[in-house]
Structure 1
Amino acid sequence: MKKMILATLLTLCSVSAAAHTLWVLPSHFVLSSEDSWISVDVSAANMTFVADKGVSPANLSIVFPDGQRQAFAQSYQGKRKSQADHQLTMDGTYRIELGGPARYFTFFQEDGQRRRIMANKQERAAQLPANATDVVTTRSRGRALSYVSVNAPNQTALALSNDGLELKLLTHPADVVATEPVRWQFVLDGKPVADVQVELSREGELYRDDAGREVLSSDANGYLTFTPQVAGRYVIEASVQLDSSNALADQVRESLTLTFEAALP
């Protein structure tokens, strides 16, 4: 399988957000009392955590420490950002996730014009015109994630689905500390994926002359190792494009953002 790594994020959740970074930002990353409420901001923006475009919260969900998934209790879509609230009723780690199922697009040429239909490889034959050429079907999906822990962190909500681009969080998000190394691993459909280009950025860009973004890369086994130098909130952006022998697609395009906090040492 020929591998192509994209250096920029492919935001797939909204056409209007295509040139922006999609992120979910919880009001807290670590809490010490049960029955606390969490508030989550959702936006797509060019500058880290400076809200620009509100994104529909329809595909926003929260996975509880016991593995059950729930929709947020209440949500609102605004012009600059969307917001959602939910009550955290048990100890452990929660996963906040924005992202729907994979979508399939078939691109082709017809009479010198590039066209597109929403169909996978098995569906496209019935929809393509007879004179279609250069036919390529792509599976596309984007996710934005964050994790919140209440009292004792656990692993259940960190479990991989083995579907699409994911991060295996060897360093638990609740254990990320400034000046200490973090080790995670990129996997695609459950298998390690090498040379994923990643951009790491942190809050406060609006007040710095230098944005301070860092470009990283996973190693041959998909491992990503880095050290946040200062405490604060960060976001990782990554995407991959791969040729595929899948029965439903010729190519796979996956994007992922992860928002996390580095605690004071």
Structure 2
Amino acid sequence: MRFKTRIATCLAVLCGAFGSAQAHNVWLLPSSTVLSKAEWITVDAAVSNDLFYFNHVPLGLDNLVVTAPDGAALAPENAHKGKLRSVFDLNLSQTGTYRLAVVNDGLFATYKDKAGANKRWRGPAGKFAAEVPADAQDLKVTQSVGRIETFVTVGKPSAVRPTGKGLELVAVTHPNDLVKGEQATFAFHVDGQPAPGLEVVLVPGATRYRDSKDEIKATTDAEGRFSVTWPTAGMYWVDADASDAKTSLPQAKERRLSYVGTLEVLP
């Protein structure tokens, strides 16, 4: 059952999870995704066994970025980290589309110290040189770059501008204009370039109330695009993963990229 993100261990730690996070789902869940006027919303964030239910651990919000329609950063309010979920509020005063994302970029290293003992290290690239010995033996470093996001629109939708960094969903169909029975088209880009041949998995929520997975699978074309016709209304979890050697640290030989999104499909 592919209800997992395949995010590298380093990313799981940065997100605030622990243990075997690869067996669980990560997600952001807004109280509303489409608003007719300026309002407050509440957003839940968790690492869970079932989609959109709080039954494992909270998702860390240290790397939360909320981008307003005019491109400015919006500060979350009333942020709280509980035992099973994190939560924060947003005062959405502008007309247009907001992008809510937890963006992680970190390293995971294994090596042997002078005594030959096996060591592990996790953390941001900025701390690598200071915390990993320069003479470390059998050094293996992996970079993990991940984006966990959702979208909320107030009034008229506005364009969602790609950042050009890491693996990200690019809107062809607007992410807040999804309707049951209609086809939507998106693209995946890596560092601003189309990502062809990428497997995409979409799963409707409320997984605890059904026996079947109801996965929808697609593969991106030469332009990084894929299409889906929504069979039911509700919240959907979108997952894609990629890897390459385009690391930002010379010692890292592999970069693992992950994307998780939450989309709402209306009746």
Task: State the TM-score, normalizing by the size of structure 1.
Answer: 0.85
The answer to whether the aligner puts 1:85 opposite 2:89 as a matched pair is: yes
Match of 2:43 among 1, 26, 40: 40
Match of 1:136 among 120, 140, 147: 140
Structure 2 stretches lacking a partner, 5+ long = none
Note the alpha carbon deviations across 1:142-197, whole angstroms, 9 max, x for none.
Answer: 22100000111101xx2111111111111101211111111111111111112222
Match of 2:28 among 18, 24, 34: 24
Residue 171 of structure 2 corresponds to 169
- Given the superposition, is the C-alpha separation of residues 231 and 51 from structure 1 closer, same or farther in structure 2, using an over 3 Å criterion? same
**1-side partners of 2:221 and 2:151: how far apart?**
24
- Given the superposition, is the C-alpha separation of residues 94 and 126 from structure 1 closer, same or farther in structure 2, using an over 3 Å criterion? closer
Shift of 1:57: 2.4
Contact 2:205 2:236 in 1 (8 A): yes
Match of 2:264 among 255, 261, 264: 261
**2-side partners of 1:99 and 1:176: how far apart?**
24
Contact 1:57 1:84 in 2 (8 A): no
- Given the superposition, is the C-alpha separation of residues 61 and 245 from structure 1 closer, same or farther in structure 2, using an over 3 Å criterion? closer
Matches within 5 A, 1:221-232: 221-232=223-234
Residue 9 of structure 1 corresponds to 6
The answer to whether the aligner puts 1:58 opposite 2:62 as a matched pair is: yes
Question: What SS is found at the alignment partner of 1:79?
Answer: coil
Aligned-residue sequence identity (percent) comes to 31
Match of 2:185 among 183, 186, 194: 183
**1-side partners of 2:103 and 2:88: how far apart?**
15
Segment of structure 1 superposing worse, 243-252 or 255-264: 243-252
Structure 1 stretches lacking a partner, 5+ long = 1-6
Larger RCO: 1 or 2 (CA < 8 Å, sep 6+) = 1
- Given the superposition, is the C-alpha separation of residues 39 and 8 from structure 1 closer, same or farther in structure 2, using an over 3 Å criterion? closer
Matches within 5 A, 1:206-221: 206-221=208-223
The answer to whether the aligner puts 1:127 opposite 2:133 as a matched pair is: yes
Q: What amino acid maps onto 2:174 in structure 1?
A: H
RMSD in angstroms over aligned alpha carbons?
A: 2.5
**2-side partners of 1:18 and 1:71: how far apart?**
29
Question: What SS is found at the alignment partner of 1:216?
Answer: strand
Residue 200 of structure 1 corresponds to 202
Task: State the TM-score, normalizing by the size of structure 2.
Answer: 0.84
Residue 147 of structure 1 corresponds to 151
Question: What SS is found at the alignment partner of 1:238?
Answer: strand
Residue 242 of structure 1 corresponds to 244
Shift of 1:230: 0.8
Shift of 1:216: 2.5
Shift of 1:99: 2.4
